[in-house]
Amino acid sequence: MRIVSQIIALSRSRQLGRQFREIERIVDSLPRRTRVQLGTLTLREIGQASRSEFPHLYGTSPEQRYLPWGEGTDVGYARARSDNAEVAIRGVALWLAVAYHETKDSPHLKLQLQHRHLLKVLHGLKEAHRNGTEAAPTRGNSLAAA
């Protein structure tokens, strides 16, 4: 049974890795303002997923609950490739949230490595959010400058 578990984890790791390369490319190509928005959406999605019974199955229909992994990353990935910018950003946020929870406590080395790489991307979004909100003028400041 252990060998089957390792094969499933390796297969999942490859699938997530392939999707993650595309997600990372999308994130890297975003303008700063959109990255700030993505950071906010991703944080919200991670929070919503953590409040669900099975965070790694967030975005998965209840009938699919007993699959080795959920549909959230596939749904997010499909949306991330949309031509509609709003749908794409929401898809990236969903993918990042589900992948975060799915890889978070994994006992498998490949998935642990993906989690660390994912944390780097999330940290970059957090920095963009922090820098974006510090640089944004407040209502009072913009009126004083006018």
How far apart, in whole angstroms, are the C-alpha atoms of residue 80 and residue 90?
7
Q: Which 3 state secondary structure label does DSSP give 112?
A: helix
Tell me: pLDDT of 132 over 90: no
Higher pLDDT, 130 or 119: 119
The mean pLDDT of 4-32, rounded to a whole number, is: 92
Return the higher-pLDDT residue of 136 and 106.
106
Mean pLDDT over all residues of the chain? Answer: 85
Q: What is the pLDDT of residues 105-125, one digit of tens each?
A: 888 889 999 999 999 999 999
pLDDT at 6: 84
15 within domain boundaries:
yes
Q: Is residue 88 part of a domain?
A: yes
94's tokens: 């969903």
25 within domain boundaries: yes
Closest CA to 104 of 94, 93, 92, 117: 117
Task: Confirm whether 145 is domain-assigned.
Answer: no
Cα–Cα distance measured from residue 113 to residue 119, given in angstroms and rounded to the nearest whole number: 10
Position 137 pLDDT exceeds 90: no
Average the pLDDT over 27-41 and give the result: 94
Does the pLDDT of residue 78 top 80, yes or no? yes
Q: Is there a domain that residue 139 lies in?
A: no
Residue 31 resides in a domain: yes
Task: Determine the Cα–Cα distance for residues 72 and 56; give it in Å rounded to an integer.
Answer: 8
On whether residue 34 sits in a domain, the answer given is yes
What tens digit of pLDDT does each residue of 40-75 get?
999 999 999 999 888 787 877 777 777 667 889 999
> What is residue 134's predicted lDDT score, i.e. its pLDDT?
58
Read off the pTM. 0.84
pLDDT value at residue 136? 47
C-alpha span between 33 and 66 (Å, rounded): 39
How many residues appear in the chain? 146
Q: Residue 126 belongs to what domain range?
A: 9-133
Domain count, the chain: 1
d(CA 102, CA 70): 9
Average pLDDT value for residue range 79-100: 96
